[in-house]
Amino acid sequence: MNLLEDETFPVEPEQKPSRDSTLFEGDTGTLPLDARRVLCQLLSGPSVDQGRHSQLWPAVLRYESKLRSHLNDLFLELVIDRDAGVAFTRQAETGELETPVLLRSAPLTFIESALLLHLRQQLAEADAQGHRAVVEEAVLMDALSVYEKNVSTDRAGFNKRVTAAIVKLKESHVLTKLRGSEDRYEVSPALKLLFSAEDVQALAQIYRQLREADEVTEGVADER
């Protein structure tokens, strides 16, 4: 008797998506609808915010493990701050392994960096007092005026650059306009994850040196 010919072995059937995860004709995805919506928001960026995405946030926590797995397939990792209610993706640290980069970063101008630093400091102060970080556009203009000499000697040109920086951060949802207000914004808690306390101290020292150097130069010019 030829055992190889006569003996049969069970063949596991191909796993098919469950009825709950099949959302359209030909759908082979395995994630439920809410998890897919979260995944799309994470990939389109910049974050899933509990305040702005109240319907998506529970799915972030419920499907955290599956989301991490799907993002890892793309060489991305999921970052979650449950206390702040924020989640976002970033490139995974793959060492010497050559991997495609899906998340593109745009370089920041000097004034955009200064604005981000100021907002991060405002967020830290608001957290210490236990309330949301809310800023006004006019106050931001005034706060950044210390960098005017580093950017432009033209006041109108400087204000235009600050306004452009504010618009850019609004488009990336770092700043969210408050309802019923034209010039007041809430600072996204995601900044706490993007800039650590050490980053803030290092950047603050650099910008402090720039201001002091400009003041010394201006003082020398006045003496002449």
- Range(s) of the domain holding residue 55: 16-91
Q: Are residues 115 and 215 in the same domain?
A: yes
Q: How many angstroms separate the CA atoms of 95 and 86, rounded?
A: 26
Residues in the chain: 224
Note the pLDDT of residue 105: 66
**Residue 105 Ramachandran class (φ > 0 left, ψ -120 to 50 alpha, else beta):** beta
Q: Which residues of the chain have pLDDT under 70?
A: 1-21, 104-106, 152-153, 196-197, 199-200, 203, 207, 210-224
Q: How many angstroms separate the CA atoms of 166 and 183, rounded?
A: 11
Tell whether omega for the bond before 46 is within 30 degrees of 0, i.e. cis: yes
On whether residue 20 sits in a domain, the answer given is yes
**Residue 13 Ramachandran class (φ > 0 left, ψ -120 to 50 alpha, else beta):** beta
- Answer for the pair 190, 88: CB distance below 8 angstroms, yes or no: yes
On whether residue 102 sits in a domain, the answer given is no
Q: Are residues 148 and 116 in the same domain?
A: yes
Q: How many angstroms separate the CA atoms of 111 and 47, rounded?
A: 23
Q: How many angstroms separate the CA atoms of 172 and 112, rounded?
A: 12
Q: Are residues 114 and 214 in the same domain?
A: yes
Q: Are residues 85 and 118 in the same domain?
A: no
Q: What share of the chain is helix, strand, coil (3-state, %, to 5)?
A: 50, 10, 40
> Where residue 48 sits, what CATH number does that domain have?
1.10.10
Q: What's the structural domain count of the chain?
A: 2
Note the pLDDT of residue 104: 66
Q: Are residues 85 and 116 in the same domain?
A: no
- 184: enclosing H helix or E strand: strand 184-187
Q: What is the pTM of this model?
A: 0.65
Give first-to-last CA distance, the chain, whole Å: 109
Residue keyed to tokens 């030829």: 2
Q: How many angstroms separate the CA atoms of 2 and 13, rounded?
A: 26
On whether residue 145 sits in a domain, the answer given is yes
Q: Are residues 44 and 84 in the same domain?
A: yes
Q: Are residues 50 and 115 in the same domain?
A: no
| pLDDT tens-digit readout, 110-163 | 888 889 889 988 988 888 888 889 999 999 999 998 888 777 668 888 889 999
Note the pLDDT of residue 189: 81
Note the pLDDT of residue 214: 53
The conformation of residue 108, written as its DSSP 8-state character, comes to P
Enumerate residues 6+ apart whose C-beta is below 8 A from 32: 20, 21, 63
